[in-house]
């Protein structure tokens, strides 16, 4: 059990209590960030003349060395593990000052944000990769007809590319939300201390800059006490996960042989231990289920934060684990889907099935409106009655003759209606229907091609934006390292700044 | 039971089924939007020469008249109620064409977005009003000391203004999220039809413009099948509600006489039917509980959307009711809090309590570091031990003499330490502590004043931005009305556009 | 604004605050229970000689009269509305004592339990009615073959009756949970007062008996501060709702023409406003979505209760509304399903489809084990390979000749295998397969008939048990009324009890 | 990648897909259960003469040996890992028959229930241990006065024992729910196969008996397709977790020095890295937060199950992990609390604080009713006004003189009231108040002692019941082992049963 903080106010902690309250398992991932924060903090303390250059040099040397971190429940958390490892190296005289003007409360918030911004960048790359998979697959299926459903009932013919682009556009909004979230995540709480900043003349701005942040979480109570950046991330991920689960549902339903719209490649499916004929769509099933996990993570995090008093409470520690779960969950789903989508086989011959399921009914009604001047609501009723008649006599739209239509119009609305056989034939041809649906956002191949082109351009831009974010972090990291290195070697760094201009 | 859609494909619906599936109760609020959509749609159909000018005129006249909407379960929904009311007025020949090239699937998505954008504007105004209440109250309490807590244990002194600004900044992020959401909400799905647009040469862009949208939800499957705009709104509201519930928790705890930090005015509290001494903080309790409602709404909506197949499913209808619940819930909480906050009495004399609860301990340790060159970690241990000794002998920081400190330093770390009584006195004075915490984001009155000034400027800008959004909608509405009016009177509107330039 | 409780400790409440905190909308349903509680309480106060018989008589007369309850936000809640209506009738001398030894804290908990127990009885009746619908429909379909799926892939043939009984058995567990919950609901908190009972010599047992409770929630802090009876009810309802949503999902998928297993009767379905061919399964879609609502209600209630300090907090008020939502939601779903199920058309001719989807594969493998002594795992692999070959050449099990099987066995595992054509024919006949699956719980008609018979017996017992609960409440109510009536008329009731035996 | 099931219907699986879909990490815990199931199944297959005694012997020998289970993603799951390890030992001729008449679908449901029933027993023991801690601590505090709060406002004095018993009674209901759940968990799905049982003449009853189940999940579709036993468990645990979080909240609030009701022992608390005076209640904070986790687990599981089609879907796999999380979470919270509670220091001297916070107000009003015949509602108003006067002049109940009371009664309700000073003194003495609250369930020491005695008796019974459940499982396990051992050694076991009585 770590004793650095004990022996003064409190005596030792029981082992079972230490284990119960320790966050060390989740903290391992934060170790790098915590070391960077300590480097930046030490640099700033020296620049602000709060600690001596030679002390700063010693601390930085230690922080560069391989620290012997005790990452088990004998340390309370990663913050104490790092401080204790440093203390062991340089002794209390020098090491005892590394924690001047900071607290675990601001340090943990800072480390979380540093880890999370990297994860957000990964996630954004994964979304773009998934978009790429959708766009490339769409490119191959601009002419591939499928029947789309509403209420799981056959509705209208579209192209598979059109369907894939609908998923693309949904993902694009997910990307936008992650981008907005990034802006609120990449701010530095450091210097907020326990909740009230400090009486030492620190520069919070300098630490933020050294750590690659775009600015501060300014108010100190807000800086240590807010976790909406975590809730916002999990909320954004929940929406992404729901989007992916809808795609998964389509794949599950459509790969059922009864639908037979798509088929997973063998290496993406499993069979049954008992039933030799089975080919089960396991990947989409897992994705569908895991959307529930992310929702559960959001509930866990939001219910924990709800009603918290201001500033820091240990409950926050338990919120963090749910964040990482959600991040990992959605990222792995995105990655596997980006592999699965381009490998789908699509059943493109929908002609007969289309006739059987009457997906041309709307277009036939439209034809009556357009060419025969029947009001739409009347056309809708006539065609509805026609469909009913055909179903009841186990026939399809192939059997929709001018005579039958005439009789139906008469029986239903007492309208005299003589439709040319050619007009019927054209109205019930899925290919022609799709081609005629060429208004903005429609499924016509020409329309989809245009949409695809603009999305590809947009995607390149999105990718470059994310790359830019990553580059900024890399550069900040390099600057931090070189500044810290110089000081640790007793040099005054070029871009070092000092409180008073005397140096 | 509405029969406009029946008698063709399907025979009549049972009354109990009609009642079970009807959305009419939630739909009432959409009636105005649905009428506007029909106006815009009719204008566009005429401009695109899909219907005749005289038919358009008749339809618009009817839409201007007071429609006799059957808003009970005899109508399936508001869409059919409007169409049926129009049909009754103008007859099937003309009225039957109002539904050309549209579907309830695109129409309901459009109406929802029109209602929601108004609600978002209301919410943004409410957030700004609440920010105003916080800022104005803060202005009065820039010098008012309170003790802040972490883990509900006394931590450090700050000012009440500093605390209020922490709430302000949290709300500011809520506002940002609502603003981002607005951008994704104010897009038009109209023209997507059932899922595949239409073969009629409609202009989706024109309808969007007439209805005040900033653009399209382009892909037609996405347009009718996505509800992430609802989930995103409820998610944003959940975060706002969690923020408010934290403020509520502070008020509940702090107005407990044991804490005695704040007191609600009588007219914001209640008493007990049995215990005559009670003064219960009912408003914050309700707000705290209602955050759970919004979270529940999010779960209901997300769990319903999870695993939905693409395009429209009736499950969507059940998602909408949760949106309105969440909107109303958060809006009313914001409004009552904006009244309550300025009326809080704040208990500002914290001197004695501060000494008793040792909130100056950090500053005393800082003093040892700064003036006596004790390493921070050692200073922390010495002061910790000092506090322990004082508590055990039921004394306070008033009893922290140089001698006792000397003895404690000796006993704890075997350090010889002679501290001046004046230094101790200064270190434990809450007022001085707060004044010395003057780094960016700190609680020092001067720092807080600066923060307050910048927030007030920002707030004015935010208010003006929201007002701008509202104005744009108002202007679009006026343009729609005047265009529709002109056509209904048989005139060709000035800003009317026609497909072929022949007119 | 109600002033009965104000003017002493607190001055008036603002109207907006009154409206914000009032529970009166949800409280209307509790009015009858609250009046009964007051009757029982008054009887007990008199019997315990805490109030005088003539005062008791006057109070009871008033409680029998039609009270003018102010059920708007001018009353805080139904408790004050009743007390104020009584005060207005009988004046403060007598009326002012009705609230001796009780508090709204115990009274509201008691009223909630009284309303809820009635709702639980209704729900249990609805479950039994739904079970009846399943059992009666099953009876008609003992021989109706359907194909069942796992992972939405065709798996094995069963009977429709077997499927329906699986739903029956799931519902039976729902019923058990409601029954368990009832036991914990039907206990009386009355007499717990605000949290600490009272110093008046009341009889809590007598009040409990007069109100038809089976016992006390004994500990007074627990009595006013626990709401697990609400959480438990919503949890049980969530499980029921999830069960119903699974049934709904089956109906939605199976009524898709691609599956074509069942068809809803016209009067249970809807069509599209645009697509005349549609027949949408609206009722099951709503039921599927509403399961999410109940889950949301549970989250709202549990998140509100989590972390509550002990005894009563106003947050509880907000938990109640979610309970009633959940109760109403599940009850209406049960009722409409009990109408819908018996009206399903079932597509029973599955022979061809069965061959095409290879649902006999398991049985063919079993045949190889049983008659040809092939180890099961080898048989599984051979039949799997056979299915693959047939699918790739677009053939079905009809084309599974002894020769093809022989070749496949050779190619796959190098096994010499000569199977009789008759054995294949028998193995792939769905009817024979189902008949052979006659172990306990299997789909064979004979087995299902036995299962059905035992379930019908059980159901009759369940119905009688619920009826018994209802009867007990009715009788208690009658006793309460007659006792109260006697006292109100100045008589000493026969079953009246007095503290001291002197009467 | 495991190939036992592939090479027939499907070719190999990709490694990333295998890893994504594998449940092996969660499955490790099921290995023992799966081996037991295979033993029981083999015994039954032999007894039913489906496999030969010598084959059964070989299979059982292998199952007794240390199996080389490949518990990484190279196995799909534990079921295949066991089967493959057996196949490797005994070869395909014998090993290939171990999976006759069973499927992973029934096997996993059975293994889950076997693991869960053990966990439920552990949980029930933990609840009883926690009850014991509460009862023993209560015993020490039967006379210890504390002030209880409602709405976090001081309400009435009770004893600490009375408070602890309120927690005991809440836990008791948690125990009841776990017991009910156990009954529905300890049923055997084995023999349901993939969904339709089998055509082999198996005995499901025999397997159930060998595995220590109390009966069958009879209907085969229900047996493989229901997971309400998981949802019910997590729901019960959510309620327990909410109960514990309420206790945790009390401890957090009460150990704040402002309240100062309880104090955690040093070894159960932590300090701050910055603020040396801190003593933070970490254990209760973690417990409070973790209740949210269990709620999140329930949401994840319920949202995944909602809308699932019947029978088995792979989504189920993802539900299981949430079950184990919830079980572990609640169990560890119960265990640490059972240590913490007996070590609480309780601040018992509440006299002065009680006067200051007017917790005697109700009793003073009661005194006016009882001794001075003031109607309760009037007494309530007078005492309320008295409290207001005293607060406004910064006085306490010590200053409540007969004269002041007289004046207040006059001013408020124009009542002449002369109260004896002795009556006031008695009414405001917390000890006397508590003693007078001696009705059933009240806080009077005598009443609490009785309650405690009955709870201790009950607890002993509960413990013995759980022990009984555990014993039954142990005995079944021993019988299974000895039967399997005999057969594996070629003996016919004494309690072996055979299909035909010829042996």
Please tell me if residue A157 touches chain C, with a CB cutoff of 8 Å.
no
Q: Which of residues 318-347 of B touch D (CB under 8 A)?
A: none
Taking an 8 Å cut-off on Cβ atoms, the answer to whether D153 and B365 are in contact is: no
Closest C-alpha among C298, C163, C242, A291 to residue D228: C242
The answer to whether domain C3-100 and domain C106-349 are alike in fold is no
CB pairs under 8 A between A and D: 218
Would you state the pLDDT for residue D498? 60
* Residue B84, CA distances (Å) to B63, B71, B81, B91, C276 in order: 12, 11, 5, 10, 17
How many other CB atoms sit within 10 Å of the CB of residue A113?
Answer: 24
For chain A (length 503 residues), average pLDDT per consecutive 10? 72 86 86 97 97 96 90 81 92 93 96 98 98 98 96 95 98 98 98 97 98 98 98 98 98 93 89 84 96 98 97 96 97 97 89 88 95 94 94 93 96 94 95 97 98 97 97 98 95 62 41
Radius of gyration of chain C (CA): 31
Q: What digits encode the pLDDT tens for the residues D34-73?
A: 999 999 999 999 999 999 999 999 999 999 998 888 877 7
CA distance C14 to C17: 5
Least confident of A29-38, B65-74, B97-106: B65-74
Task: Using the structure block, give the residue that is written with the tokens 């058995």.
Answer: C169
Task: Using the structure block, give the residue that is written with the tokens 């081996």.
Answer: D35
D272 part of the active site: yes
Please compute, for residue C18, the number of CA atoms within 13 A of its CA located in the half-sphere on the CB side.
Answer: 17
Domain C3-100: state its class.
mainly alpha
Q: pTM for the whole thing?
A: 0.97
Question: Which residue of A194, A297, A302 is in closest CB contact with D275?
Answer: A194
Q: Are D172 and B275 in contact (CB under 8 A)?
A: no
DSSP 3-state assignment of C326?
helix
How near does any CA of chain D get to the CA of C486, in Å?
A: 24
CA distance C268 to C281: 7
Q: What digits encode the pLDDT tens for the residues B358-406?
A: 999 999 999 999 999 999 999 999 999 999 999 999 999 999 999 999 9
Question: Which residue of C17, C271, C288 is in closest CB contact with B315?
Answer: C288
Q: Are C277 and A363 in contact (CB under 8 A)?
A: no
pLDDT of D496 above 90: no
Please tell me if residue D129 touches chain A, with a CB cutoff of 8 Å.
no
CA distance B27 to D126: 51
pLDDT of D283 above 60: yes
Which of C12, C180, C256, C272 is labelled catalytic?
C272
Q: Which of residues 267-296 of A touch C (CB under 8 A)?
A: 271-282, 285
pLDDT of B413 above 80: yes
Token duo for residue B180? 């981002």
pLDDT-derived band at C26, boundaries 50, 70, 90: confident
Taking an 8 Å cut-off on Cβ atoms, the answer to whether B275 and C10 are in contact is: no
Would you state the pLDDT for residue D454? 97
Which of C11, C151, C273, C393 is labelled catalytic?
C151
How near does any CA of chain A get to the CA of D82, in Å?
A: 13
Q: What digits encode the pLDDT tens for the residues B163-215?
A: 999 999 999 999 999 999 999 999 999 999 999 999 999 999 999 999 999 99
Q: Provide the CA D438 distance to its chain's centre, in angstroms.
A: 32
What CATH number is given for C106-349 in this structure? Answer: 1.20.200.10
pLDDT of D1 above 50: no
In chain A, which residues have their Cβ closer than 8 Å to the Cβ of D76? Answer: 270
Based on the number of CB atoms within 10 Å of its own CB, is D67 exposed (0-12), middle (13-18) or buried (19 or more)? middle
Buried b / exposed e over B290-309, threshold 16 CB at 10 Å, is bbbbbbbbbbbbbbbbbbbb
CA distance C223 to C193: 9
pLDDT-derived band at C503, boundaries 50, 70, 90: very low
Please tell me if residue B184 touches chain D, with a CB cutoff of 8 Å.
no
pLDDT of C134 above 50: yes
How many other CB atoms sit within 10 Å of the CB of residue D64?
Answer: 15
Strand duo B145-150 + D262-263: pairing: unpaired
Would you state the pLDDT for residue C486? 95
DSSP 3-state assignment of D264?
coil
Average the pLDDT over D165-181 and give the result.
98
Please tell me if residue D13 touches chain A, with a CB cutoff of 8 Å.
yes
What are the E-state strand segments in A185-288? 262-263
Q: Are B472 and B212 in contact (CB under 8 A)?
A: yes
Taking an 8 Å cut-off on Cβ atoms, the answer to whether D362 and B307 are in contact is: no
How near does any CA of chain D get to the CA of C234, in Å?
A: 10
Question: Which residue of D276, D285, D317 is in closest CB contact with A314?
Answer: D285
Taking an 8 Å cut-off on Cβ atoms, the answer to whether C249 and D307 are in contact is: yes
Q: What digits encode the pLDDT tens for the residues D432-485?
A: 999 999 999 999 999 999 999 999 999 999 999 999 999 999 999 999 999 999
Taking an 8 Å cut-off on Cβ atoms, the answer to whether B150 and A312 are in contact is: yes
Taking an 8 Å cut-off on Cβ atoms, the answer to whether C79 and B273 are in contact is: yes
Which of A12, A272, A310, A464 is labelled catalytic?
A272
A174-178 long-range contacts, CB within 8 A, separation 24+: A174/A127, A174/A236, A174/A239, A174/A240, A174/A243, A174/B228, A175/A124, A175/A127, A175/A128, A175/A131, A175/A462, A176/B180, A176/B184, A177/A236, A177/A239, A177/A240, A177/B180, A177/B232, A178/A120, A178/A123, A178/A124, A178/A127, A178/A236, A178/A240
In chain B, which residue's Cα lies nearest the Cα of A287?
A: B307
Q: Are A288 and A252 in contact (CB under 8 A)?
A: yes
Which of A151, A199, A454, A501 is labelled catalytic?
A151
In chain A, which residues have their Cβ closer than 8 Å to the Cβ of C394? Answer: none
How near does any CA of chain A get to the CA of D73, in Å?
A: 14
Q: Are B156 and A318 in contact (CB under 8 A)?
A: no
Q: Would you list the domain boundaries of chain C? A: 3-100, 106-349, 361-428
pLDDT of C501 above 60: no
Taking an 8 Å cut-off on Cβ atoms, the answer to whether D195 and C292 are in contact is: no
Percent of residues, chain B, with pLDDT higher than 70: 97
Question: Which residue of C272, C277, C339 is in closest CB contact with B16?
Answer: C339
How near does any CA of chain C get to the CA of B267, in Å?
A: 4
CATH tag for C361-428 (out of 1.10.10, 1.10.1740, 2.60.120, 1.10.40): 1.10.40
Buried b / exposed e over D327-344, threshold 16 CB at 10 Å, is bebbbbbbbbbbbbbeeb
Q: Which of residues 344-403 of C touch D (CB under 8 A)?
A: 362-363, 366, 369-370, 375-385, 387-388
H-helix or E-strand spanning residue D460: helix D445-488
pLDDT-derived band at D117, boundaries 50, 70, 90: very high
D151 part of the active site: yes
Least confident of A40-44, B263-267, D220-224: B263-267
The size of chain A, in residues, is 503
DSSP 3-state assignment of B145?
strand
In chain D, which residues have their Cβ closer than 8 Å to the Cβ of C219? Answer: 162, 165-166, 168-169, 441, 451
Question: Which residue of D9, D266, D278 is in closest CB contact with A11?
Answer: D266
Of the residues D148, D242, D258, the best mutation for testing chain B's interface (the one with the most B CB atoms within 10 Å of its CB) is D258
Question: Which residue of B155, B257, B259 is in closest CB contact with D278?
Answer: B155
Q: Which of residues 251-270 of B touch A (CB under 8 A)?
A: 253
pLDDT of B430 above 80: yes
Percent of residues, chain D, with pLDDT higher than 90: 83
Would you state the pLDDT for residue A353? 87
Look up residue B440 and give its DSSP letter.
Answer: T
Q: What digits encode the pLDDT tens for the residues C391-401?
A: 999 999 999 99
Would you state the pLDDT for residue B273? 80
CA distance C36 to C23: 20
The strand pairing partners of A153, in sequence order, are A150
Would you state the pLDDT for residue B496? 59
pLDDT-derived band at B501, boundaries 50, 70, 90: very low
pLDDT of D501 above 80: no
Taking an 8 Å cut-off on Cβ atoms, the answer to whether C318 and B282 are in contact is: no
Q: Where are the alpha helices (DSSP H) in C190-281?
A: 204-210, 220-225, 228-254
Token duo for residue A404? 């039958």
CA distance B74 to B80: 10
Question: Which phi and psi angles does C159 have, rounded to 5°?
Answer: -105, 155
Please tell me if residue C299 touches chain A, with a CB cutoff of 8 Å.
yes
């Amino acid at each position: 059990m770590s004793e650095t903080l004990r022996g003064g106010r409190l005596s030792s902690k029981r082992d079972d209590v230490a284990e119960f309250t320790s966050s060390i398992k989740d903290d391992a991932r934060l170790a790098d960030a915590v070391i960077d924060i300590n480097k930046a903090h030490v640099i700033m303390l020296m620049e602000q003349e709060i600690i001596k250059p030679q002390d700063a040099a010693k601390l930085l040397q230690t922080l560069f060395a391989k620290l012997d971190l005790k990452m088990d429940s004998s340390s309370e958390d990663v913050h104490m593990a790092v401080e204790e490892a440093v203390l062991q190296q340089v002794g209390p005289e020098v090491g005892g000052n590394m924690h001047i003007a900071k607290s675990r409360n601001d340090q943990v918030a800072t480390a979380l944000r540093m880890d999370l911004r990297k994860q957000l960048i990964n996630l954004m790359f994964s979304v773009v990769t998934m978009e790429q998979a959708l766009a490339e697959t769409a490119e191959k299926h601009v002419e591939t007809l499928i029947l789309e459903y509403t209420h799981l009932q056959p509705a209208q013919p579209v192209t598979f590319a059109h369907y894939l682009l609908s998923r693309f556009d949904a993902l694009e909004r997910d990307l936008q939300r992650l981008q907005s979230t990034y802006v609120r995540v990449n701010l530095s709480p450091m210097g907020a201390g326990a909740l009230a900043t400090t009486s030492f003349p620190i520069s919070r701005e300098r630490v933020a800059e050294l750590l690659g942040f775009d600015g501060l979480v300014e108010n100190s109570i807000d800086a240590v006490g807010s976790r909406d950046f975590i809730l916002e991330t999990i909320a954004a991920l929940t929406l992404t996960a729901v989007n992916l689960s809808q795609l998964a549902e389509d794949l599950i339903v459509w790969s059922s042989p009864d639908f037979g719209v798509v088929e997973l490649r063998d290496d993406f499916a499993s069979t049954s231990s008992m039933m030799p004929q089975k080919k089960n769509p396991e990947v989409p099933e897992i994705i569908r289920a895991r959307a529930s996990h992310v929702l559960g993570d959001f509930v866990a995090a939001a219910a924990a934060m709800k009603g918290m008093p201001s500033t820091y409470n240990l409950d926050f520690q338990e919120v963090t684990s749910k964040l990482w779960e959600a991040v990992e969950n959605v990222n792995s789903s995105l990655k596997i889907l980006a592999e699965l989508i381009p490998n789908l086989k699509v059943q493109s011959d929908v002609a007969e099935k289309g006739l059987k399921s009457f997906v041309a009914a709307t277009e036939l009604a439209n034809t009556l409106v357009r060419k025969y001047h029947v009001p739409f609501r009347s056309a809708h009723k006539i065609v509805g009655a026609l469909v009913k008649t055909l179903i009841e006599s186990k026939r399809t739209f192939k059997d929709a003759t001018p005579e039958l239509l005439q009789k139906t119009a008469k029986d239903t609305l007492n309208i005299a209606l003589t439709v040319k056989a050619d007009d019927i034939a054209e109205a019930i041809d899925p290919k022609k229907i799709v081609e005629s649906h060429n208004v903005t956002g429609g499924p016509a191949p020409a329309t989809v091609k245009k949409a695809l082109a603009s999305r590809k351009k947009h995607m390149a831009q999105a990718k470059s934006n994310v790359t830019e974010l990553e580059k900024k972090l890399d550069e900040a990291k390099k600057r931090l390292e070189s500044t810290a290195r110089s000081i640790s070697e007793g040099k005054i760094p070029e871009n070092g700044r000092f409180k008073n201009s005397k140096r």
